[in-house]
Each structure stands twice: as structure tokens, then as C-alpha cells.
Amino acid sequence: MSSTFRPAIAILGAVAVFVAGGIGGSVTPSAIQDGWYGALTKPPLQPPSFLFGIVWPILYVLIAASWVIAYRRQPENLKALALPFGIQLALNALWSVVFFGLKAPVGALAVILLLLATIAWMMQRFGSPARWLLVPYILWVSFATYLNAGIVFLNR
């Protein structure tokens, strides 16, 4: 693999972020519409549902920008960057599939804990300044972990 920056790779990674978001977003509405999610007891600090639709697109833009910056600064480290990036995208999409699609909060809790660890790994690999764009992402996923865990414990 060449160590020069290739715009197509940067664009492909950025597009992958939105594909992962689309996968996750495609399973969420049915669980909300069929009443399953609404019937769950939620933990304190549960934000209103509309907030998720505002926060996630912003986070996806930050994740995509972070990828482009990290790859632009370190094209010679493509494999080292792409591995945690790809794994976190897969886990990000998988969380929604497990939580909303399979209606399995316990399984989703396991997925989100792996996602948190993978985001931290990605931040370490991406370096500055790209890692700083991921701070809102890891903070939001940390908060989502609290919400997921709360749902697991309150709905046993």
C-alpha cells in the first residue's frame, strides 16, 4: 500500500460512517412505533426522543471528519487507522440492531461496552487533532451506556 494520501479512501471512510448510521437508524423506528421502547422503564436523565435525532447526525459528521483528518495526517498508517475505525462503525450499527431490532438490551449493553473500548482505541490511534473531534462521540456513547444499563436493571 502506498503511503500517500488517496482522496478516494478518505471519502470511502466518510461514506461508511453514514452507511453505519443508516443501518442503525433503519431498525430504530419500528421498535419505537410498536410500543416496545415506550413501555420500558427508563433511568433518570433520559433525554427526550427528538434529541437523539439531533445528536447522532452531528456525531456522524464529527466521526467522518475525524477519519479524514487522521488518514490525511497518517496515510502511511492506513491499516492501523482503518482497523479500529471499521470495528467501531460495525459496533455502532450493531448496537441499534441488537437493542432495537432484536429488543435485547442485555446484548446491546455488551455491544456498547465493546464500542466504548473501540472508540478509545480509535482515539489513541488517530492522534491529535482528529482525536479531539471524537470527544463528543465517546461522551455521548458513555451516556448511552448509562441509559442502556439503566434500562437493563430497571426492566429485569
Distance (Å, rounded) from C-alpha 129 to C-alpha 50?
30
Instruction: Tell me the three state secondary structure of residue 46.
Output: coil
Tell me the pLDDT tens digit for each residue of 116-150: 999 999 999 999 999 999 999 999 999 999 999 99
Q: Is the pLDDT of residue 1 over 70?
A: no
CB 83 within 8 A of CB 10: no
Per-residue pLDDT at 42: 97
- What's the average model confidence in pLDDT over 97-120? 98
Q: Which CATH number fits domain 7-154: 3.90.1200.10, 1.20.1260.100, 1.10.10.10, 3.40.50.720?
A: 1.20.1260.100
Distance CA 72, CA 9 (A): 10
Place of cell 479500529: 84
List, for residues 39-97, the tens digit of each pLDDT value.
Answer: 999 999 999 989 999 999 999 999 999 999 999 999 999 999 999 999 999 999 999 99
Q: What is the pLDDT of residue 3?
A: 85
